[in-house]
């Protein structure tokens, strides 16, 4: 994967790859977030997914092809397959594509496999990200070639689906159909932000060492394009894909129902799912036991340890502002990706929008103090309900939000 240039800013906790911020999330967050957005039958969720993926990938590959203008079609397609595999999304075979169309085979699919874990039987192929990714690549190739390739537009027809039980995905390019893939491409300028403060906690956790070590690990797709790590399957996903589907979903629900509360509850619940599976898996992993556990003296150090790990995921920089054991956590996040995405694509927010941040902070407290992750419990459905759905569990409340004009985002977690 040496052809892919990664620009990681440890100061800001952000990974930039050819103009796009990319960050780690797990299969459980990905499948739950997608199902959350798919479930309401009265919104056009497929359009939300496809446009978000196509727009984000289009911008990334347009930037890459601009830097490499002499690449022929085959080299561009090979690089697109490499990035897909690198990110843990699976394996795409573009060998059946030429200037007049063709087929793309998804020989494995993170989303296809993840969606199989959801309850109930799917009636429709769910690899929307894969499909949108392909579209974004093809559109970037078209524009980088001066518009000569697929100039009359195209659509993609999915004929096989891993999420429906097939052994692979298959997408056929339909020339001249001209699906509207690109809609929201113009961003708003971001304001200047305050300098991110240093850690204030008196803890033996060496955050700099943890972030540097994790950022240097080769967490990339394996031979089948998947990233099994920390007891889950990770993707290095585009921040703006998450932002566009989450806030697009929120907007559509508001149009349909007139309120944002339902979207807020559902998107925060996705944050709970992420914290339980990803944070819980990390704190049970060999990497945790080898790198971080030797630094830990008290249970409170587990909070500082997982916060250090979070700061290597590409989400921005989290800082523990206040921690009252078994009672309260105040966490601040600087330049966190949800607020940045809202400001760029949807403008200034009139309510707190850091849903993953809110759910994640609650998850830390529930994992440590409502349950006890230090005792190595099994992270199954029953334990999830025990931690997040029983009396006296911890809930997060966002009190400051970067997207609303505050200097940082802040979440207060109490029982």
pLDDT digits (tens, 9 = 90+) for 163-199: 999 999 999 999 888 889 999 899 999 999 999 999 8
Please report the pLDDT score of residue 148 as a whole number.
Answer: 64
Token pair 């992420």 is found at 274
pLDDT digits (tens, 9 = 90+) for 355-404: 999 999 999 999 999 999 999 999 999 999 999 999 999 999 999 999 99
Element of type H or E holding 246: helix 239-257
How many angstroms separate the CA atoms of 409 and 400, rounded? 5
How many angstroms separate the CA atoms of 251 and 13, rounded? 28
| Nearest Cα residue to 252 out of 44, 39, 55, 47 | 44
pLDDT at 2 over 60: no
How many angstroms separate the CA atoms of 263 and 164, rounded? 27
Rg (CA), the chain: 21
> Can you name the residues that pair with 26 across neighbouring β-strands?
234
Please report the pLDDT score of residue 362 as a whole number.
Answer: 98
As a whole number, mean pLDDT of residues 211-221 equals 91
For the record, the structure tokens of 279 come out as: 């944070």
Residue, of 100 and 116, whose pLDDT is higher = 116
As a whole number, mean pLDDT of residues 107-123 equals 95
Of the options 1.10.357, 3.30.70, 3.40.1350, 3.30.1380, the CATH number for the domain spanning 44-175: 3.30.1380
As a whole number, mean pLDDT of residues 97-117 equals 95
Count, in order, helices (H) and strands (E) of the chain. 14, 14
CA angle 26, 30, 33 (to 5 degrees): 135
Q: Which residues contact 306 (CB under 8 A, 6 or more apart)?
A: 279, 282, 283, 364
pLDDT digits (tens, 9 = 90+) for 252-306: 999 998 888 999 999 999 999 999 999 999 999 999 999 999 999 999 999 999 9
DSSP, res 191: P
For the record, the structure tokens of 71 come out as: 């690449």
Distances (CA, A) of 302 to 75, 138, 182, 388, 392: 46, 45, 43, 19, 21
Please report the pLDDT score of residue 199 as a whole number.
Answer: 87
Q: How confident is the model at residue 322 (pLDDT cuts 50, 70, 90)?
A: very high
Element of type H or E holding 53: helix 45-67
Question: Is the CATH number of domain 207-414 3.30.1380.20?
Answer: yes
8 A C-beta contact, residue 89 and residue 56: no
Please report the pLDDT score of residue 305 as a whole number.
Answer: 97
As a whole number, mean pLDDT of residues 144-163 equals 86
Domains 44-175 and 207-414 fall in the same CATH topology = yes
For the record, the structure tokens of 307 come out as: 């916060």
Burial letters for 381-398: b for 16+ Cβ neighbours within 10 Å, e otherwise?
A: eebbeebbeeeebbbbeb
pLDDT at 94 over 50: yes
Return the percentage of the chain with pLDDT > 90, whole number: 87
How many angstroms separate the CA atoms of 207 and 320, rounded? 12
pLDDT at 1 over 60: no
As a whole number, mean pLDDT of residues 75-86 equals 96
How many angstroms separate the CA atoms of 351 and 369, rounded? 29
> Can you name the residues that pair with 155 across neighbouring β-strands?
174
The number of beta carbons lying within 10 Å of the beta carbon of residue 73 is 15
How many angstroms separate the CA atoms of 384 and 390, rounded? 10
pTM confidence score: 0.96
Delimit the domains of the chain by residue range. Answer: 44-175, 207-414
For the record, the structure tokens of 55 come out as: 């727009």
pLDDT digits (tens, 9 = 90+) for 5-35: 899 888 888 999 999 999 999 999 999 999 9
Please report the pLDDT score of residue 147 as a whole number.
Answer: 64
For the record, the structure tokens of 110 come out as: 């993170």
Strands 90-93 and 20-26: unpaired
Cβ-based burial of 238 (10 A; exposed 0-12, middle 13-18, buried ≥19): buried
8 A C-beta contact, residue 29 and residue 274: yes
CA 202 to chain centre: 31
What rounded mean pLDDT belongs to the chain? 94
For the record, the structure tokens of 396 come out as: 């997060």
CA angle 404, 14, 368 (to 5 degrees): 80
């Amino acid at each position: 994967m040496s052809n892919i240039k990664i620009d990681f800013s440890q100061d800001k906790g952000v990974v930039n790859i050819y103009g796009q911020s990319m960050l780690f999330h797990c299969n459980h967050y990905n499948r739950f977030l997608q199902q959350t957005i798919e479930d309401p039958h009265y919104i056009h969720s497929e359009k939300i997914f496809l446009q978000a993926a196509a727009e984000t990938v289009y911008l990334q590959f347009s930037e890459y092809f601009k830097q490499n203008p002499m690449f022929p079609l085959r080299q561009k397609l090979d690089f697109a397959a490499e990035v897909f595999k690198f990110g843990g999304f699976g394996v795409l075979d573009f060998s059946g594509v030429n200037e007049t169309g063709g087929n793309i085979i998804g020989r494995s699919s993170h989303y296809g496999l993840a969606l199989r874990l959801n309850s109930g039987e799917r009636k429709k192929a769910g690899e929307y990200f894969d499909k949108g990714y392909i579209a974004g690549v093809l559109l970037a190739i078209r524009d980088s070639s001066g518009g000569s390739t697929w100039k009359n537009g195209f659509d993609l027809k999915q004929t096989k689906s891993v999420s429906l039980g097939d052994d692979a995905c298959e997408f056929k390019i339909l020339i001249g159909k001209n699906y509207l893939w690109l809609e929201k491409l113009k961003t708003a300028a971001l304001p200047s932000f305050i300098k991110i403060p240093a850690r204030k906690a008196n803890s033996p956790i060496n955050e700099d060492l943890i972030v540097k070590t994790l950022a240097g690990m080769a967490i990339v797709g394996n031979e089948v394009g998947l990233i099994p790590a920390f007891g889950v399957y990770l993707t290095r996903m585009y921040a703006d894909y998450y932002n566009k589907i989450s806030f697009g979903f929120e907007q559509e629900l508001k149009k349909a129902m007139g309120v944002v509360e339902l979207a807020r509850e559902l998107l925060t619940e996705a944050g709970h799912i992420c914290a339980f599976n990803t944070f819980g898996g990390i704190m049970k992993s060999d990497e945790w036991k080898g790198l971080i556990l030797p630094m830990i003296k008290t249970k409170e150090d587990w909070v500082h340890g997982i916060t250090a790990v979070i700061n290597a995921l590409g989400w921005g920089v989290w800082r523990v502002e206040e921690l009252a054991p078994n009672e309260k956590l105040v966490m601040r996040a600087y330049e966190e990706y949800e607020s940045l995405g809202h400001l760029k694509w949807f403008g200034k927010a009139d309510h707190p929008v850091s849903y993953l941040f809110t759910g994640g902070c609650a998850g830390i407290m529930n994992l440590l103090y409502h349950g006890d992750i230090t005792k190595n419990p099994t992270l199954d459905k029953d334990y999830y309900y025990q931690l997040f759905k029983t009396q006296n569990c911890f809930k997060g409340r966002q009190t400051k939000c970067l997207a609303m004009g505050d200097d940082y985002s802040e979440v207060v977690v109490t029982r």
